[in-house]
Chains A and B, each alone.
Chain A
Amino acid sequence: MTFDLASIRADFPILHQEIYGKPLVYLDNAATTQKPQIVIDTLRHYYEKDNANIHRGVHTLSERATKDYEATRDTIRSFFHAASTKEVIFTRGTTDSINLVASAWGSANVQAGDEILISHMEHHSNIVPWQMLCERSGATLKVIPMNEAGELDLETYANLLSERTKLVGIVHMSNALGTINPIATMIAQAHAVGAKVLIDGAQAAAHVPVDMQALDIDFYVTSAHKMYGPTGVGVLIAKQAILEAMPPYQGGGDMILMVTFEKTQYNDLPHKFEAGTPNIAGVIGFGAAIKYIQSIGFEAIEKREKELLAYATKLAQAFTGLRQIGTAKDKACVLSFVLDGVHPHDLGTILDREGVAIRAGHHCAMPVMQFYKVPATARASFSIYNTEAEVDALFAALTKARDMFA
């Protein structure tokens, strides 16, 4: 497939506006991506034509809504190469998915003396639920260290793994550093000691292809809103046998087959883990977003995003006073940095007045900030619709900020 930047930009209505009289340069894609027209139209169509509750009505609207909702499950199954739609559980997002696993799987499988292993570059959402589980169960949380470049220390990882390790939680692509972790080998190593692996795909899923079966992933979690889809919806994809053996997470409607006051018989997968009326519109919009990514194709996406990151990295290296945070060999789409004499928060404000939207802060990865001994970083994160001219605008704005504080 060929990559047509102009037509991709035309797909995203929000990009075509001015902020303080300057063209919007949206470089906060790691926080959330913008939405293409097809996703916006799908949401609108759903509410205008098909809105109904799912799985229970016999009327036409409910049948249409159910069909589109379940069709998305299959779109996601094929996108992530999962074995079956039974393995695809809709959630509120990455955070919700991890909490589901930590609660439901954790309560049944983790005990005092066990260990949970996560990495130093995890997002808080892949730290805190495990800390909570460890507190409840008496298990211990261990951390895979990283090096100055922001790459995991695989030797130490191998030594940390033991038969006590019950679960390894790794971010596929770090939102704070851009690092893409070598999950294939890490999963194989974890499996060799009998541990399960959860991969946090919140950042990765829009940028790199994922094959659940080839990689032998136990749990993969991600959020629609970082993949051009709506907020408040995401997915947990997990092996059927693991999900079958897990107790349910939340109780309520849709997750049951039969309820009496004495006993409840739980519904089959995937419904067992989808209690209550879900974000139906969001799920259907998620499906449209995935199809949008498929229409461009990962080969073209990866090639283009590498090109743009290389361009930005070259300018960053030449920029006096700029220190990059995160220089892993394998990384994507994230340029995290600090600038001598200008606090990231001030950069955020100054750049905004130039129309350039970046993120300043700890990126919900405080241990990463502690590692680099910085209170915060500025982060420009790129997507398929960003241009070299926008990267130039970023650096022009940075020059302005540097001059202000000179």
Chain B
Amino acid sequence: MFSLGDLYQQVIIDHTKSPRNFGKLDPCNHDAEGYNPLCGDQLHIYLQINADNIIEAIKFEGQGCSISTASASLMTEALKGKPVAEFERLFAAFHHMATADMEEAPDEDALGKLAVLSGVKEFPSRIKCATLCWHTLKAAIEDKAEPVRTE
């Protein structure tokens, strides 16, 4: 059985208390809003993607639980300065980790620091908190006008 400590690892608590890349990005050429109606989490992600398809800058704002805040914070850290293709690879890996079988260990080579969030799969009602920022970022990259909703 996963314990609470597996979900709320120190890295997650740290990112909750001092989220990285937090705030509005101005100027930005992509942004989107995400919303989790179940818990009222609200997220706004801002991006600056350059002509070479590199995520030059990425920031987020909003309010949410520890899992959604830490997940967004870790995501922005992982993607800043990376090509958009890297987002696609990481999103797939992250999504797999969050929904995989309990026994399957997270692929730390593929995920790096993001693997600290693997505990969410033991907490079905919290998976959406961890994935909200990823869906929102996808919408930002694709310039979706409608806010993302997890339900």
Binding site for B on A (CB under 8 A): 20, 341-346, 349-350, 353, 360-362, 369, 375-376, 404-405
Residues of B within 8 A of A (CB): 1, 3-4, 7-8, 13, 16-17, 38-42, 63-67, 123, 125-126, 129
* 16 A-B interface contacts by CB (under 8 A): A342-B66, A343-B66, A344-B65, A345-B126, A346-B8, A346-B67, A349-B4, A349-B126, A353-B3, A353-B4, A360-B39, A361-B40, A369-B40, A375-B42, A405-B17, A405-B66
**Looking at chain A's contact residues, is the secondary structure mostly helix, strand, loop, or mixed?**
mixed
Inter-chain contacts of B126 with A (CB < 8 A): 345, 349
Bound-state CA distance A375–B3 (Å) is 27
Q: Report the separation of the CA atoms of residues A350 and B4 in the bound assembly, to the nearest whole angstrom.
A: 7
Do B40 and A375 touch (CB < 8 A)? Answer: yes
- A345 x B8 contact (CB < 8 A): no
Partner of A404, one of B4, B41, B65: B4
Contact of A405 among B1, B3, B7, B16 (CB under 8 A): B16
B147 CB to closest chain A CB, in angstroms? 15
Task: List the 10 closest A-B pairs by CB distance, nearest first.
Answer: A375-B40, A345-B65, A343-B65, A345-B39, A376-B40, A346-B66, A353-B4, A346-B65, A375-B63, A362-B40
How distant is the Cα of A360 from the Cα of B125 in the complex, in angstroms? Answer: 12
Minimal Cβ-Cβ distance residue in A for B62: A375
A369: nearest chain-B partner, CB-CB: B40
Cβ of B125: which chain A residues have Cβ within 8 Å of it? 349
Nearest to A405 among chain B residues (CB) is B13
Instruction: Check B38–A361 contact: CB distance below 8 A.
Output: yes
Q: Is the CB of B7 within 8 A of A343?
A: no
Cross-chain contact B123 with A344 (CB below 8 angstroms): no
Considering only CB atoms, which chain A residue lies closest to B36 in the complex? A345
Give bound CA distance, A404 to B67, whole Å.
14
Q: How far is the CB of A368 from chain B (nearest CB, A)?
A: 12
- Residues in B with CB closer than 8 Å to A344 are 39, 65
Given contacts A346-B65, A349-B7, A405-B16, 15 further A-B contacts (CB under 8 A): A20-B1, A343-B39, A343-B64, A345-B129, A346-B8, A349-B125, A349-B126, A350-B4, A353-B4, A375-B39, A375-B40, A375-B63, A375-B64, A405-B17, A405-B66
Min C-beta distance of A362 to chain B, whole Å? 5
